[in-house]
Amino acid sequence: MTYLRPAYTLVFVLATMVTGTSCEHGEDHKNATLQDFSTPQDKVRGEYLVTLSAGTDVRVITNLYGQFGIQEMKHVGNSVFLVTLSDDPGQTRMDELRAQESRIEAIQPNLAYRSQPKLEPGAEY
């Protein structure tokens, strides 16, 4: 059995090291909070994604939302259009008008994507 003694000693030393490092943080470790890495998304003023029913002519968008000054209309895929308005009426009004036109399946504001949070001038980071 003496030939197993070094193996037992090694297991004991490793177990002690693992236990020691896991207890190293003590109570502070229990109260730690996760850092929030989520990115806030802001609406891009005057930009909306409009989804049309299959086969619907794009003029439905100009007829319904043209009163708000369509500056640009860009096809972004599968019956979805990015519409830029000069006079943004807001999401509520856009939804009210959409409810009047069954060929428009959905409308949502275009969201700005940021991989980094906004930096405030003069703030310490």
C-beta atoms surrounding 109 within 10 Å: 18
C-beta atoms surrounding 49 within 10 Å: 15
Residue of 97, 108, 86 whose CA lies nearest to 63: 97
Residue 12 has pLDDT above 70, yes or no: no
For residue 113, the model assigns a pLDDT of 76
Q: Is residue 29 part of a domain?
A: no
Compute the average pLDDT of residues 47-57.
Answer: 96
36 — pLDDT class (breaks 50, 70, 90): very low
Residue-number span of the structural domain to which 47 is assigned: 42-112
For residue 122, the model assigns a pLDDT of 73
Q: Is residue 27 part of a domain?
A: no
Q: Is residue 11 part of a domain?
A: no
For residue 29, the model assigns a pLDDT of 45
Q: Is residue 86 part of a domain?
A: yes
Question: Do the Cβ atoms of 43 and 112 come closer than 8 Å?
Answer: yes
For residue 120, the model assigns a pLDDT of 72
Q: Is residue 90 part of a domain?
A: yes
Q: What is the pLDDT of residues 68-85, one digit of tens each?
A: 999 999 999 999 999 999
Q: Number of structural domains, the chain?
A: 1
Tokens representing 69? 């000054």
Q: Identify the CATH number of the domain in which residue 66 sits.
A: 3.30.70.260
Q: Please, where are the H alpha helices in the chain?
A: 5-22, 26-30, 59-65, 91-98
